[in-house]
Amino acid sequence: MKFVHIADIHFDSPFVNLSDKENLGDIKRLEQRKVFKKVIEYIKENAIDFLFIAGDVYEHQYIRKSTIEYMNELFKEIPNTKIYISPGNHDPYIKNSYYNQFKWNDNVHIFSSKIEKVALEDVNIYGYGFDDFYCTNCEIENLEIEDKTKTNILVIHSTIDGANIEEKQYNSIPRKLLEEKGFDYVATGHIHKLDYNTYENQKIVYPGSLISLGFDELGKHGMIVGEIKENKELKTEFVPLSENDFEEKELDVSTCISKEELIEKINDLDIIDNQLIKLILMGKRNFEIDKYELYKLLTNERIIKIKDNTKIQYNLEKMANMHTLKGLFVKEILKEKENAGEEELEIIEKAVEIAFEALE
């Protein structure tokens, strides 16, 4: 059996605070559609038997019916592929959800809040779906695989080995417990970072989010393509699909003596076409930096967010000789710096900056 495993698409996400520029949310929502269509095209071209979607397909609060219809029309293009969806914490199977109220194509099966088994000729597909925005126990411990001569798959949205209180609200399941159950493959979702080949014979897999949803999800995103042979040998491969990858770049501004020089330096950065960049300004600045003014003058549209981590360039020794309130303040600061550790120095430098701004 050949399968594709995806998760965490988050259709119609508002992408709040993703960028300081306008319209990026619209661009990312179009990318979600384009990449999802790539998944369907791959399935058609490679005669894939199963599509497993492990939750957070859409954002319940924002999803539009037109997006659901778009998905369903694509599902109709792969009638010979069986599709199994496990609702997650962002798209739970609740009374007013599209999982409950929309008529999906015949090849789509959506799991609800009781662990269910779908028996096929050579494969048993087990699954569970959230019925609320939180889940503390799906009772997976009570599940026993009925026929281990078949290939047994579990499709579930979960936090494997969730340790803290927040993680345990999202269907935390011990990895050891899942391994003891004996599934031939566990298609899971919720964690947006790819985890499919980190140890030998790994059967519990996170494909990561289908596209990168922000700067906390750097690197490639896409789908898992797998095959389980008659002897139950599992082969998996990660196939990148994302149109745009989020990346961070740091730029030291210490040598820039003017706004114009800084803008030239930024515009000269080597940025790949499919990268969306969060630019982090570092070092000691010699002039005030207004990042919103920078946006207007930048020629590279791939820079969508700027973070200013610079510090003001001060000659404290020179300022200590000034017969002013600033000078007296700096003398006291220099005394504190003599025996300060690294963390204390950062606090002192920040205190100087705040104080000088207040004394302007």
Query: What integer pLDDT is reported at residue 72 of this predicted model?
Result: 98
Neighbours of 188 (CB within 10 A): 28
What's the rounded Cα separation, in Å, for the pair 267 and 285?
18
Helix axes 24-46, 65-76, angle to 10 degrees: 20
pTM, 2 dp: 0.82
Give residue 321's Cα distance to chain centre: 52
Query: What integer pLDDT is reported at residue 253 of this predicted model?
Result: 94
Q: Where are the domains of the chain?
A: 2-240, 245-359
Give the residue-averaged pLDDT of 62-80: 98
Amino acid at site 147: D
Residue 108 host element (H or E) = strand 108-110
Query: What integer pLDDT is reported at residue 359 of this predicted model?
Result: 62
Q: Which three-class secondary structure state does DSSP give residue 343?
A: helix
What's the rounded Cα separation, in Å, for the pair 215 and 19?
10
C-beta separation of 135 from 170 below 8 A? yes
Give the residue-averaged pLDDT of 150-162: 96
- Cα–Cα distances (Å) from 95 to 60, 102, 115, 132, 241, in that order, read 12, 11, 18, 10, 33
CATH pick for 2-240 out of 3.50.50.60, 1.10.150.50, 3.60.21.10, 3.40.50.450: 3.60.21.10
pLDDT of 199 strictly over 60 = yes
Q: Which three-class secondary structure state does DSSP give residue 341?
A: coil
Query: What integer pLDDT is reported at residue 292 of this predicted model?
Result: 86
Please choose, from the candidates 292, 269, 214, the residue with its C-alpha nearest in 3D space to the C-alpha of residue 247.
Answer: 214
What's the rounded Cα separation, in Å, for the pair 55 and 91?
7
Give residue 191's Cα distance to chain centre: 8
Give the residue-averaged pLDDT of 319-343: 77
Query: What integer pLDDT is reported at residue 357 of this predicted model?
Result: 62
Task: Convert the pLDDT of each residue in 265-302 to its tens digit.
Answer: 999 998 888 888 999 999 988 888 888 889 888 888 88
Please choose, from the candidates 184, 3, 188, the residue with its C-alpha nearest in 3D space to the C-alpha of residue 82.
Answer: 3
Task: Return left, alpha or beta for 113; rule: phi > 0 is left, psi -120 to 50 is alpha, else beta.
Answer: alpha
Residue 109 host element (H or E) = strand 108-110
Query: What integer pLDDT is reported at residue 311 of this predicted model?
Result: 83
C-beta separation of 14 from 24 below 8 A? no
Beta bridge partners of 45: none
Query: What integer pLDDT is reported at residue 315 of this predicted model?
Result: 67
Q: From start to end of 132-212, where are the E strands? A: 151-157, 159-160, 172-173, 185-189, 204-205
- Angle, vertex CA 224, rays to CA 64 and CA 92, nearest 5: 35
